[in-house]
Structure 1
């Protein structure tokens, strides 16, 4: 499981304390800030005041029903805050109704906590991409500003180093040959970079990353190219 390094806040709306505690354990393990609510009224107040990054929402909760909370977020607040429904309602009709309300994902109880963590990460990544932000492992890049951070610390990258890092982050775990990396650079520049120069840029990029974090994110695959490993 890739650890989240940005302390993004997750509001867990669930009236079963045991389920809340289970989700909380896994969220804290992966570096998230956890906000809890046991009913719809408390959930609504915390959404308004604390502005969580993502909402994990049970449908059958006291006070205001989960469906109404979702409708309020989308229609009244006009918010695109990611919402994952976590519910025992498992019929196809229930799922369709959930997506019609604007949820980003639908998880049925009983559920796997590990799977829920991956779904949270995937939904947050898609939401960030819509805003021009790409996050993976400890890295964050703002596509519009062409800036990059690792574990909250800004990386001072050259033009080509930034493009290479963005390319790696968009293809995690995939072995990229030097020619493939060059192809991404050519989308932005004419052929002013050679295979040999790619190695130099990656060497400098590694050094800048290693100054901030000791982890070996960019790995050499002998005879093939490079691979970005999200640890």
Structure 2
């Protein structure tokens, strides 16, 4: 497994060397920058997994570097501030600028590692959630979002019941497949199907009406007589 990359932005050579030792000892790849300009240049060449950013830098300040990262370059990675400043006002300002955490100098090596790991876990989880949310099934003017269980037709969100959504979710995954009433019932209601049960028909009818109300120009659910339903 490739080691995650950390960019340390610290103009004090001794502190920078200490941070390199700490982070490499924790299994990270480390790159150093000794000014804000050098840090931004490094990030243009290779995006790190996390940034440890000192505030008191020559030239550009840490605050200015943070603003560049978040507001102008819109880079998404954890940025942890290193500073001897401890006032609440300073911390609040930096958090509002886009910092993810704040490590006060002098620092404990274990605290640095723990805060970096926690920040990177949060970003990994958020990235996974975003990736999952981006999954979408589309059919004609209909869009179904599995992560949020949201369905839209021509941009209008449909107020579907749980079972209506589950039926549509099955149909849209394989639009050419005909799903029998028995199969739909067993998958959606998780029980045995009895031929006289009209439950599936009622829910499909309600689902069809809701979709057609949002898009009167298209037909979406086709009844295949004697078998079941499919998208059309």
Shorter-chain TM-score range = 0.5 to 0.7
TM-score, structure 2 normalization: 0.55
- 1:105 pairs with 2:101: yes
Q: Per-residue deviation at 1:143? A: 6.8
State the partner residue of 1:95: 91
2:112 to 111, 116, 124: 116
Cα distance in 2 for partners of 1:28, 1:35 equals 10
Contact 1:73–1:79 (Cα < 8 Å) also in 2 = yes
Given that residues 6 and 31 in structure 1 are in contact (C-alpha distance below 8 angstroms), is that contact kept between their aligned partners in structure 2? no
Please say if 1:29 is aligned against 2:29: no
Instruction: Look at both structures and tell me which one has the larger radius of gyration over its CA atoms.
Output: 2
* Paired positions, count: 139
* Offset at residue 59 of structure 1 (A): 0.5
Unaligned runs of 5+ in 2: 134-189, 192-232
**Gap runs ≥5 in structure 1:** 134-141, 145-189, 192-231
1:26-105 alignment, distance < 5 Å: 26-105=22-101
Deviation by residue 1:178-222 (Cα, 9 ceiling, x = unmatched):
xxxxxxxxxxxx69xxxxxxxxxxxxxxxxxxxxxxxxxxxxxxx
| Correspondence 1:17 to 2:21 | no
Structure-1 separation of matches of 2:2 and 2:117 = 12
Q: Contact 1:58 / 1:85 at 8 angstroms: preserved in 2? A: yes
Is the 1:85–1:106 contact (alpha carbons within 8 Å) kept by the matching residues of 2? yes
Partner residue of 1:195?
A: none
Could you say what secondary structure the match of 1:20 adopts?
helix
Aligned-residue offset at 1:25: 0.8
Give TM-score, length-normalised by structure 1: 0.55
- Superposed structure 1 runs of 4+ greater than 4 Å apart: none
Looking at both structures, which has the greater relative contact order when contacts are Cα pairs under 8 Å and sequence separation is at least 6?
A: 1
User: Aligned pair in 2 of structure 1 residues 114, 6: CA closer, same or farther (>3 Å)?
Assistant: farther
